[in-house]
């Protein structure tokens, strides 16, 4: 049986989650659900990044201790992921003892392998990025991402000899063409390596909010250096070697494009330095934008939009969990930037969900109710819809496999469109009861059954409801795809329920 290990970045616990954090998490969740459907043993992890100056500053501002602050904000992430039906297998908090243990073991291994030394750091720092800059890499002394003035720093620190890994990283890129996807992001990562790597400062003595350095009690680790190791904490690094061997290095890290350098340069080098294989895949996605600007906490501070008005919990309350998930997956190709808007959610909802999917289920269940005594007929082996269905299955499978949920859903919606078109053409609502009507309805029910399976990673609860309405037992995910997504498994004789509209149209403009 195959295995699939997928991770999101761990989100800074300086503030509540926003729809940008939800974007990565929903994509990772849908991919995890798809791989579970394939029958693969799947591990999907997410969590919160709780150390560093940004978090310590936020706690101070709120008058709490850092620990009390992160307990509270981390709980808000759990709440948001529950609202979005995120099926994570583990939630890593970097203040947990298990994480301290993994970080200290991992970094001690690097220290003992001779890649950590003491020196003086002098340079510029952005607290929002928790990242170092040179004057040249900055925007005339301001952060190129956040636009804030950078802080001058001078500290005696421990350094990681990143420069020693330039050749090995280049070799890793050459030998693993799909280490970083998409290609444009791979090129960006590779050009970081090619431009020459400088050693990096990995500890702090000016703050105490961090994982203590085991060999120097005056220092804590720099937040990024502790955070990346969460991907190993989750699989038992330092605690369970068998688990590590089981899941590593075959990992899929899904990240936003602003953290490429950490994941595609530092992290593989850190693994090499600790004597581990680098992670096998990093998938980079673009940003959700509002008015062309990256949607995020810094934008909120500028007053452009109130992020709390469009928080994951507010959105799911307003539009329902499955429509919000669908919108995030379907609107923008993973890898590209995309504009976020409430109008966009309503438009997707009314067209793809109400008019296409909802309408299909409503029509079919209504006709079966009125003309087939509420009992769904079986599908035909030689149905005109069969080829459409088989194409949708093959295309969805290929698209999920290349981390393209948008294309996978497009393929699924082409089957919905083809089924609606077939119904328009045959007009079963005008037919009399009999074989011809049964054939059309059985084929439409089979198409709906397949749609409920193919769309289940995106819309788990609606698909379960559709399954129930067409009279099937259990859930669309009970059997593996190779068994269930085969034309002709709707055998008929099932009680079909009409029910309330799945997606009542939204009339009001947001
Ligand atoms: O960077 N559009 O945490 P973070 C799409 N703690 N995705 C977005 C987004 C947007 N507008 N805004 C945020 C950190 N994201 C570190 C990570 S990992 C070892 C440590 C998503 O809270 C995107 O995935 O700033 C981005 O990479 C992540 O949130 C950053 O979250």
* pLDDT tens profile 63-122: 999 999 999 999 999 999 999 999 999 999 999 999 999 999 999 999 999 999 999 988
296 lines ligand 1 (CB under 6 A): yes
The confidence score (pLDDT) of residue 299 equals 64
Which pLDDT value is given to residue 95? 98
Contacts of 391 (CB under 8 A, 6+ apart): 411, 414, 415
Place of tokens 């009861």: 433
The pLDDT tens digits of the residues spanning 370-380 come to 999 999 999 99
The terminus-to-terminus CA distance of the chain in angstroms comes to 46
CA distance 373 to 10: 53
How far is residue 318's CA from residue 391's CA, in Å, rounded to a whole number?
A: 35
The pick from 8, 11, 130 for probing ligand 1's pocket by mutation, whose C-beta has the most ligand atoms within 8 angstroms, reads: 11
Fold type of domain 3-317: Rossmann fold (3.40.50)
Q: What would the pLDDT profile of 383-394 be if each residue is shown by its tens digit?
A: 999 999 999 999
What predicted TM-score, i.e. pTM, was given to this entire model?
Answer: 0.95
Residue 298's pLDDT band, with cuts at 50, 70 and 90, is low
Domain ranges in the chain are 3-317, 342-495
Q: How far are the Cα atoms of 163, 170, 192, 284, 430 from residue 196, in angstroms, in the given order?
A: 7, 11, 7, 22, 72
Query: What distance in angstroms lies between residue 390's CA and the mean position of ligand 1's atoms?
Result: 37
- Ligand 1 pocket: which of 7, 9, 282 to mutate (most atoms within 8 A of CB): 9
Q: Any idea what the Cα angle at residue 130 is, between residues 206 and 12, rounded to 5°?
A: 110
Structure tokens at 448: 């709906």
Q: What Å distances lie between residue 384 and 418, 447, 451, 493, CA to CA?
A: 10, 11, 16, 21
Task: Cite the DSSP H helix spans in 176-311.
Answer: 183-194, 223-227, 230-233, 241-247, 260-261, 267-273, 297-301
Contacts of 387 (CB under 8 A, 6+ apart): none
Q: Which of 259, 267, 299 most suits a substitution to test ligand 1, by most atoms within 8 Å of the C-beta?
A: 259
Model confidence band, residue 369 (pLDDT cutoffs 50, 70, 90): very high
Q: Which atom of ligand 1 is nearest to the CA of 267?
A: 19
Q: How many whole angstroms from 412 Cα to the centroid of ligand 1?
A: 29
Tell the residue nearest (CA) to atom 26 of ligand 1. Answer: 256
Does the CB atom of residue 279 touch ligand 1 within 6 A? Answer: no
Cα–Cα distance measured from residue 306 to residue 218, given in angstroms and rounded to the nearest whole number: 40
Average pLDDT of the segment spanning 275-282: 98
What tens digit of pLDDT does each residue of 140-166 get?
Answer: 899 988 888 999 988 899 999 999 999
Spatial separation of the C-alpha atoms in residues 40 and 107, rounded to whole Å? 32
Is 38 in contact with 207 (CB distance < 8 Å)? no
Q: How far apart are CA 195 and CA 188, in angstroms?
A: 11
Radius of gyration of the chain (CA): 25
Q: Per mean pLDDT, which range of 113-127, 248-262, 354-368, 385-399 is the poorest?
A: 113-127
DSSP string, 42-103: EEEEEEEE--SHHHHHHHHHHTS-HHHHHHHHHHHHHHHHHHTT---SEEEETTSHHHHHHH
Q: What is the average per-residue pLDDT within 291-312?
A: 78
46 forms bridges with which residues in the sheet? Answer: 91
Tokens of 121: 């750091």
Average pLDDT rounded to a whole number, residues 352-366: 98
Half-sphere exposure of 178 (CA within 13 A, CB side): 7
Burial 453-491 (b: 16+ CB within 10 A, else e): bbbbbbbbebbbbbbbbbbbeeebbeeebeebbebebbe
pLDDT of amino acid 509: 65
CA–CA distance from 214 to each of 209, 253, 304 (Å)? 15, 28, 44
CA 55/CA 97 separation, integer angstroms: 18
Indicate the DSSP class of residue 487. Answer: T
CA dihedral 88, 94, 99, 105 (to 10 degrees): 130
Please report, to the nearest 10 degrees, the dihedral formed by the alpha carbons of residues 103, 105, 106, 112 taken in order.
140
Out of 1-15, 30-44, 136-150, pick the least confident: 136-150
Of 194, 260, 203, nearest to 226 by C-alpha is: 203
Q: Which CATH superfamily is domain 342-495 in?
A: Isoleucyl-tRNA Synthetase; Domain 1 (1.10.730.10)
* Cβ-based neighbour number of residue 380 at 10 Å: 17
Secondary element (H or E) of residue 106: helix 97-112
The residue nearest atom 27 of ligand 1, judged by CA position, is 256
Contacts of 297 (CB under 8 A, 6+ apart): 14, 15, 18, 307
Q: How far apart are CA 44 and CA 56, in angstroms?
A: 28
- Residue 288 phi, psi dihedral angles, 5° rounding: -80, 135
């Amino acid at each position: 049986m195959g295995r699939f290990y997928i991770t999101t970045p761990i989100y800074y616990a300086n503030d509540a989650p926003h729809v940008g954090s939800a974007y990565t998490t929903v994509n990772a969740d849908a991919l995890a659900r798809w791989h579970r459907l394939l029958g693969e043993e799947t591990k999907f992890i997410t969590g919160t990044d709780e150390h560093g100056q940004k978090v310590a500053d936020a706690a101070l501002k709120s008058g709490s201790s850092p620990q009390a602050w992160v307990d509270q904000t981390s709980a808000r992430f759990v709440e948001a992921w529950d609202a979005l039906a995120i099926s994570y297998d583990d939630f890593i908090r970097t203040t947990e003892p298990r994480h301290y243990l993994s970080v200290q073991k991992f970094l001690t291994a690097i220290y003992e392998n001779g890649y950590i030394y003491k020196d003086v750091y002098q340079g510029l720092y952005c607290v929002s990025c928790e990242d170092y800059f040179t004057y040249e890499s900055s925007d005339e002394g301001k952060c190129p991402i956040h636009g804030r003035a950078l802080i001058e720093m001078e500290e005696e620190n421990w350094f990681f000899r990143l420069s020693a890994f330039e050749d090995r990283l280049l070799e890793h890129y050459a030998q693993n063409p799909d280490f970083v996807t998409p290609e444009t992001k791979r090129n960006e990562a590779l050009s970081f390596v090619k431009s020459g790597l400088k050693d990096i400062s990995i500890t702090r003595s000016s703050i105490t909010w961090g994982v203590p350095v085991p060999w120097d009690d005056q220092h804590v680790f720099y937040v990024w250096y502790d955070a990346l190791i969460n991907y190993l904490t989750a699989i038992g690094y330092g605690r369970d070697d068998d688990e590590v061997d089981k899941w590593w290095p075959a990992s899929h890290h899904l990240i936003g494009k602003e953290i490429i350098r950490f994941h595609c340069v530092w992290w593989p080098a850190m693994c090499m330095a600790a004597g581990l294989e680098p992670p096998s895949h990093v998938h980079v996605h673009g940003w959700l934008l509002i008015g062309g600007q990256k949607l995020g906490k810094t934008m909120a501070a500028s007053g452009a939009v109130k992020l709390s008005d469009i928080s994951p919990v507010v959105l799911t309350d307003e539009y329902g969990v499955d429509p919000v998930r669908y919108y995030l997956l379907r609107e923008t190709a993973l890898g590209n930037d995309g504009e976020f808007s409430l109008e966009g959610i309503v438009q997707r909802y009314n067209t793809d969900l109400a008019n296409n999917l909802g309408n299909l289920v409503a029509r079919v269940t209504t006709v079966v109710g009125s003309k087939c005594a509420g009992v769904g007929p079986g599908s035909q082996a030689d149905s005109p819809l069969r080829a459409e269905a088989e194409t949708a299955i093959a295309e969805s499978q290929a698209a999920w496999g290349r981390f393209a949920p948008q294309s996978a859903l497009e393929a699924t919606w082409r089957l919905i469109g083809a089924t609606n078109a077939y119904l328009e053409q045959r007009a079963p609502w005008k037919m009399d009861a009999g074989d011809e009507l049964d054939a059309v309805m059985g084929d439409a029910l089979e198409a709906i059954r397949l749609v409920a399976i193919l769309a289940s990673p995106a819309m788990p609860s609606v698909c379960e409801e559709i399954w129930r309405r067409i009279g099937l037992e259990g859930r669309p995910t009970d059997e593996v795809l190779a068994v269930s997504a085969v034309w002709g498994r709707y055998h008929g004789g099932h009680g079909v329920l009409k029910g309330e509209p799945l997606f009542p149209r939204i009339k009001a403009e947001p």
